[in-house]
Amino acid sequence: MVRWNISPVHDDEGLLTHFVSVQQDISDYVESERQGRLFARALHASHDPILITDQEDKIVFANKAFSDVTGYCYEDLIGKTPAILRSGQQDDASYEKLHASLKNGEPFRAVFTNRRRDGSIYYAEQSISPIPDSQGKITNYVSVSKDITELVLREQALREAASIDKLTGVSNRLHGDTVLKKARTEAIEKNQALSLIVADIDFFKQINDRFGHLTGDRVLRDVAQTLRKSVRTGDTVIRWGGEEFLIVLGNCGLEQAIALAERIRASVERQTDHEVGQVTLSLGIASLRTDEAIEGTIERADKSLYEAKRGGRNRVSVSREL
């Protein structure tokens, strides 16, 4: 295939005297354009989101699937960087690993927590690879991803179901054991205080015997919700067994734990069930010793709980053993 470039030639008086034509073989150019259009159509036909950036991380291409998943149209994306998708839920270390890998000319694969244009979160399994030119210099980067949001949410729901007590909605004992071990390790490594509160509903057996188990279950749920609302963000409420709850207070000294326990006790005391009437709690507190296994701290908190019971119930008792 050829391209003709025809130009008129005029004499000194401006009269047209003849034409000059230049013929150029553009077969390679046309083939290149054809291949380019074919390539673009193929990328748009892919069901997997595909993104291509230049050396400066600016987006130069995004296929239709990418727009469908993210909610950004093609014009919104071109010239922007992939940072437009950052959700704020991914730690900086993940992006540092990504950039280090690509800088070394190595592909990178990971699951990213991204944010769509409408603000919703989605999870993408992405494979990002550098594209070198004929001399081996990296000119672009291509990302091929897969939206795995449904899979991630399903796995999260299964993990939550396995860790949550069905009746009360707080952590179950199995998950609680993991929380306790992690909390102790963190307290030792960071040289922080760790306190535990063991709380027990007063006269709960009498509530069940007199009003029935359905009423008892309602009281348990109401108390558990009061505990969840009373603790700090980051604290964990565990249904430890029956009507007993264990509260894990990370980075919390004994005096702070006592104040929190008193607030919890007062909150539950103000709670009135339409059948049972007033419901109260007894609470025992202990703080972790540096040379102590977490089971020892639980045991001391449990002893304090029974001191509160023996002392008349609806009170807080503290283990101050050194």
Taking only the tens place, the pLDDT of each residue in 227-268 is 999 999 999 999 999 999 999 999 999 999 999 999 999 999
Q: CA–CA separation, 132 vs 138, rounded Å? A: 4
Q: CA–CA separation, 57 vs 159, rounded Å? A: 36
Pick among 3.40.50.300, 3.40.50.720, 3.30.70.360, 3.30.70.270: CATH of 164-318:
3.30.70.270
pLDDT tens for 33-58 read 455 565 557 677 778 888 889 988 99
Mean pLDDT over all residues of the chain? Answer: 87
**Where in the chain do CATH 3.30.450.20 domains reside?**
47-162
Specify the pTM.
0.61
- Catalytic option among 243, 262, 275, 295: 243
Q: CA–CA separation, 262 vs 271, rounded Å? A: 14
**Where in the chain do CATH 3.30.70.270 domains reside?**
164-318
| Strands (DSSP E) found in 48-107 | 50-54, 59-62
Q: Among this protein's residues, is 243 annotated catalytic?
A: yes
Per-residue tokens: 171: 């952590």
- Asked whether the beta carbons of 194 and 184 are under 8 A apart, the reply is yes
Sole residue written with tokens 């046309």? 30
Task: Evaluate the CA torsion angle 236, 202, 260, 188 in order and state its sign.
Answer: negative
Pairing of strands 236-241, 121-132: unpaired
Pairing of strands 50-54, 59-62: antiparallel
- Assess whether pLDDT exceeds 70 at residue 23: no
pLDDT tens for 110-143 read 999 999 999 999 999 999 999 888 888 888 898 9
- Asked whether the beta carbons of 87 and 121 are under 8 A apart, the reply is yes
Q: How many residues does the chain have?
A: 322
Pairing of strands 272-273, 281-287: unpaired
Number of Cβ atoms within 10 Å of the Cβ of 233: 4
Q: CA–CA separation, 69 vs 48, rounded Å? A: 9
47-162, which class in CATH? alpha beta
Q: Which of 220, 250, 240 is nearest to 171 (CA)?
A: 240
Per-residue tokens: 232: 């700090």
Which residues, other chains included, contact 163 with Cβ-Cβ below 8 Å and sequence gap of 6+? Answer: 171, 172, 174, 175
Per-residue tokens: 254: 């004994």
